[in-house]
Amino acid sequence: MSDLRFEQPVDDATLKDWQHVHNVIIPTHVLSLDDVRERAGRNHLEVAYLGDVLVGCSTVRPPEDDTTTATVIARVLAAHRRQGFGEKLYARGLDRARELGAEAIETVILSSNEDGVRFAQQHGFVETERYLLPGDTIPWITLRLA
């Protein structure tokens, strides 16, 4: 089996792979390719492949000008979970967030993503906020690294 490799999505193929993972895991917030391009401009995005097989993606939102809090989100397609890929994506995101000057780390999870909520809690995150976006029926949870 090949090693996990990571790419920053820069061309249409890698941007579409990032989009695919995002939209499968967050079906309540389907992003267009233009939405993903816009995010790639302001966030640090990565796509993870096992050989040529797409397995996951991540987002690091850098601290805003007036804060020291970054957001790190790892996503792994269901068929590839429980093999340590989420851990690798998350650890890279955490390193990146700290390189960007983050002193505090948050993550945001759709509450129906039970694997994600458990993963975050196992990694020391504690729920700080639960909210519904307009038109949504499934709450989002913000968690902060304790």
Cβ 125 vs Cβ 146: under 8 Å: yes
Among 14, 47, 107, 141, binds ligand COA (CB under 6 A): 107
CB-CB neighbours of 72 under 10 Å: 28
**Ranges within 64-93 binding ligand COA (CB under 6 A):** 73-76, 81-87, 90
- Quick check: 127 binds ligand COA (CB under 6 A)? no
Beta-bridge mates of residue 106: 71, 144
Residues 16, 115, 139, 144: which binds ligand COA (CB under 6 A)?
115
Binding of residue 118 to ligand COA (CB under 6 A): yes
With 0-12 / 13-18 / 19 or more C-beta atoms within 10 angstroms meaning exposed / middle / buried, residue 73 is buried
Q: Does 29 bind ligand COA (CB under 6 A)?
A: no
Which residues fall within 8 angstroms of residue 142, CB to CB, at 6 or more apart?
106, 107, 108, 127, 128, 129, 130, 131
Q: Which residue is nearest to ligand COA (CB)?
A: 116
Smallest gap from Cβ 75 to ligand COA, in A, equals 4
Grouping H, G, I as helix, E, B as strand and the rest as coil, residue 68 is coil
Among residues 18 and 85, whose Cβ is nearest to ligand COA? Answer: 85
Stretch that binds ligand COA, among 7-15, 45-53, 94-102, 107-115 (CB under 6 A): 107-115
